[in-house]
A and B are shown apart, each in its own frame.
Chain A
Amino acid sequence: MLAPFPSDRVSSDSMSIPPLSVRDLSVQYGGRTALSGFSWDAPERGLVAIVGPNGAGKSTLLKAVLGLVPKARGTAEIFGRSVSDQRDLLAYVPQRASVDWDFPATAADVVAMGLYRRIGWLKPVRSADRVSAHNYLDMVRLSEFADRQIGALSGGQQQRVFLARALAQQAKLFLLDEPFAGVDAVTEGVMTEVFRSLRDAGALVVCVHHDLSSVKEIFDHVVLLNRELIASGPVATTFTPDNIARTYGVPLSLNPGQ
């Protein structure tokens, strides 16, 4: 079922507070500008792709929103408040390459990390939490791998473990960094399905995405980024060859969707 999505302009004018609202965000890396003057109000719900060339500041945008890298300027609000007030409402999936997959943990151990916030400081993970972790693994069709060491999983399975951990957080806003990078067809199918059910449940899923050819089939909104915002809006009207060419700086002959 596809609910009609209000356009960005309508949603920001309406009474509802956007899940993510970024104002004039700039990030510097050692004197170099990684992101400059980025402003964006996310739609209330749906699947958003952040698209742009390498080094366009896509991952940096997510990290700056989450406070993982310092902002040189600007603000980011989650449902109208600062990130530190809204941690219960958001789930972050970092790039798969950012963690040590040799770590002594099973798939279920990693998924249980999504429950840590609700378990609370200083309290141990209990058997009820482990049961819960198994249920989330089941949602990404990995229940039979629950006790497998994470390094012994395939890249796609690792990505699904990360997705299950995000699901365990029961968030309303999901920020994922390249979830589709280097995954197999099964994983791509499972993830797309999970994202759609999240959207249908009213959540907003924002993915840094690198594969232009799959934007139309997976996402319904797009943010085109190259160190600054190039364009944003529904895929149907915003993901045009013209906008893509402006984002990538060269008139690409690629016709998205073909």
Chain B
Amino acid sequence: MISFLQIDLPALLVGTLAALVCTLIGNFLVLTRQSMLGDAMGHVVLPGIVIAFVLAGTTATWVMLAGAFAAALFSAMLVEFLRRVARVEPSAALGSVFTVMFALGVLLLEQSGVARTSFDVHHILFGNIETAIWPAATSLASLFDLNALASLPPQLGRLAFGLAVVALFVVVLFKELRVVSFDPDFARTVGIPPQLIGGIVVSLAALAAVVSLSAVGVILLVAMMVCPPATARMLTDDLKTQVWLSLLFALASGIFGYAIAVLLPLAFGYEISFGAAGTIAVVAGLLQLGAMLFGAKRGQPRTA
């Protein structure tokens, strides 16, 4: 029980919260066919984090968040600039900006010498849920002990904050998000500027990427943003239902993904468990496959 509280519970919470926050904003990326933007956000925050570290000399949470967020917004603006002013094809603009930014991050990471001290490239790429531990937990009573709760892994606080902010915006701006995603020109004529709403979506995607990066990693981030919403989309034609279903799938991916990572290797007698970030993404992918094969809406007539 104690080992569950100390090791499994924090990891489970981190994995699940990361899946939830990415999925929530991912719904609107998928709807506006900007899925790769989520991928881009994950990549571009790396130079932001490293630059923030070099400038501030600390890995304090808010410094890292600010650096990552600034990099994400800078990249989003750069993509818009390439698209509008330089007339680069949108996916090419996105592809070049996020890979170059990521490469810059890798270079900075190696050159600044922080790679060995504060950052592990492997963790940034593939995520590291397992380092989220809660040594202060001694019994179930720790769940109600403020002192013990205060020593929960700091990522949990960041994830909870990120989820709260994204959820607040999605709830309050739900109808604006809907009309801008469906018919941006019309939205503009009724005084709801698509650029403003789009900017908020990009910012929230950046926030989601930043808070969940340490858990799921750059490469798997996009799986969390895209798979659960795409799965839900196949099962309903109502936007609200889609968002709720996607959160349910994110929750299921987080819980079952972590359980598989821990339990499956044990069942086969292996000593080392799987990386939970990988199994969470695999579960999300399998759920999507299931929805494709057995989805209620499959084969329904559609007009182009």
Contact = CB atoms under 8 A, between A and B. Distances in A.
A106 B178 CA distance: 12
Given A99-B183, A104-B31, A151-B302, A30 B87 contact: yes
Contacts of A66: 185, 188-189
B31 A103 contact: yes
A122 B179 contact: no
A101 interface: yes
B80 interface: no
B190 A63 contact: no
Nearest to A149: B237
A56 B188 CA distance: 24
B200 to A, nearest CB: 12
A122 B303 contact: no
B172 A122 contact: yes
Contacts of B233: 104
A104 B238 contact: yes
Contacts of A105: 178, 182, 237-239
B35 to A, nearest CB: 14
Given A105-B178, A116-B179, A125-B175, A98 B185 contact: yes
Interface string A80-106: 000010010011101000111111111
A103 B182 contact: yes
Contacts of B239: 104-105, 109
Given A87-B190, A116-B192, A124 B174 contact: yes
A91 B175 CA distance: 18
Contact of A87 (B174, B189, B237, B300): B189
Interface stretch (A12-20, A39-47, A152-160, A225-233): A152-160
A121 B179 CA distance: 12
Interface in A123-167: 123-125, 149, 151-155, 158, 165
B299 interface: no
Chain A CB within 10 Å — which of B183, B189, B242 has the most? B189
B247 to A, nearest CB: 15
A16 to B, nearest CB: 24
A169 interface: yes
A101 B301 CA distance: 12
A235 interface: no
A32 interface: no
Contacts of A149: 237
B191 interface: yes
B181 A103 contact: yes
A31 to B, nearest CB: 11
A94 B237 contact: no
A79 to B, nearest CB: 15
A119 interface: yes
B71 to A, nearest CB: 29
Nearest to B188: A68
Contact of A63 (B87, B172, B185, B300): B185
A152 B172 contact: no
A30 B85 CA distance: 10
B81 interface: no
A202 interface: no
Interface string B144-174: 0000000000000000000000000000111
A100 B238 CA distance: 15
B101 to A, nearest CB: 28
A68 B185 contact: yes
B58 to A, nearest CB: 37
Contacts of B300: 152
9 contacts: A98-B185, A104-B239, A105-B182, A106-B238, A110-B182, A121-B192, A122-B176, A123-B175, A152-B302
The 8 closest A-B pairs by CB, nearest first: A149-B237, A92-B189, A117-B190, A151-B302, A104-B239, A99-B183, A103-B182, A113-B179
Interface of B: 31, 33, 87, 172-176, 178-179, 181-183, 185-186, 188-192, 233, 236-239, 242, 300-304
Interface of A: 30, 63, 66-68, 84, 87, 90-92, 94, 98-106, 109-110, 113, 116-117, 119, 121-125, 149, 151-155, 158, 165, 169
Given A152-B303, A165-B186, 16 more contacts: A30-B87, A68-B189, A104-B31, A104-B233, A104-B239, A105-B182, A106-B237, A109-B178, A113-B190, A116-B179, A116-B190, A122-B172, A122-B173, A123-B175, A124-B175, A151-B302
